Amino acid sequence: MTWDIRGGNVSQSGLFQRLSCANLARLRRLTLTVSLASRCNDMAELLEQHAEAHSRFARIARNRGVGMREALRA
């Protein structure tokens, strides 16, 4: 069994002879899309956590009658 993804050649007992460059390009795009979607999801979660933290500090600042910097020091 031989797999040469870079060159596009795939052979396995004569069943596969060549994987076309177009199929490789589609596979690479799909892999990149899944990777980017995962990273975007991670970023969205981080932004949500940041917004929640910002809301907490803003609430603390309002309750104490201080600015955000003073609330962050607490």
Q: Across residues 19-43, what is the average pLDDT?
A: 79
| Domain region containing 14 | 2-73
Rounded distance, CA 4 to CA 70, Å? Answer: 60
* Residue 19 scores a pLDDT above 60: no
Tokens matching residue 54: 């910002």
Count structural domains, the chain: 1
Q: What is residue 6's predicted lDDT score, i.e. its pLDDT?
A: 54
Q: Across residues 54-73, what is the average pLDDT?
A: 83
Mean pLDDT for the chain?
74
Alpha carbon 21 to its chain centroid, in Å, reads 26
Looking at residue 7, the DSSP 8-state letter turns out to be T
> If pLDDT is split at 50, 70 and 90, which confidence band does 63 have?
confident
**Distance separating the N- and C-terminal Cα atoms of the chain:** 63
Could you tell me if 24 and 5 are in contact, meaning their C-beta atoms sit under 8 angstroms apart? yes
pTM: 0.50
* Residue 74 scores a pLDDT above 80: no
